[in-house]
Amino acid sequence: MAYNEILIAGFGGQGVMSMGTTMAEAALSEGLNVSWLPSYGPEMRGGTANCSVVIADSEIISPIVLQPSELIAMNLPSLDKFEPAVKSGGYIFVNNSIIKRKLARTDVKAIYVPTLDIAAELGNMRVANMVMLGSYIEATGVLKFDTVVNMLRNVFTGKKAHLVEINRQALQRGAACV
């Protein structure tokens, strides 16, 4: 029985919320149960933001993630705050383009992803979150690569259709980090 409790955290503007909704939409289209819960408050661009995503093949009991099975830390304050909460044996994905420390925990699997460096090489800083998502999919196998790419085809249409390819590349480059 798969029951993934994912916490995605970072600065506002890093695509934390949209990474979560992309995962939620993809999970739903794979027939899985899903919930997406944002932190909300007097927040602003550059402030901290996080969202909880639960993906399960059984009923989702609670949408609140207190002990994530996977943490995606896009900035240092998020890693500092949530590293202790991750379940033993879980994953922590570290955006090491801006997080310069290693994990303190030794009982979790660490995946270091230089999301901004890869996004810069691809020529669009805004795909950094898709780089991270690619790593997540490759490491956990929770979602299928093709599902996410097909979803992007539905999101980016018309004048934005060219964005599918760069996002696909971002996902692939992220997967290669694992």
Instruction: Please pick, from the candidates 11, 30, 33, 105, the single residue that binds other proteins as defined by CB under 8 A.
Output: 33
41 near other proteins (CB under 8 A): yes
Does 141 interact with other proteins (rule: CB under 8 A)?
no
The residue assigned the tokens 């925990």 is 105
Could you say which of 2, 61, 104, 176 contacts other proteins (CB under 8 A)?
A: 61
Residue choice 1, 40, 89, 158 for contact with other proteins (CB under 8 A): 40
Piece in contact with other proteins (CB under 8 A), picked from 17-25, 73-81, 119-127, 135-143? 17-25
Q: Which of 58, 62, 150, 157 binds other proteins (CB under 8 A)?
A: 62
| Per-residue b or e along 94-127, where b marks 16 or more CB atoms closer than 10 Å to that residue's CB | bbbbbbeeebeeeebbebbbbbbebbeebeeebb
Query: Is residue 84 within the footprint of other proteins (CB under 8 A)?
Result: no
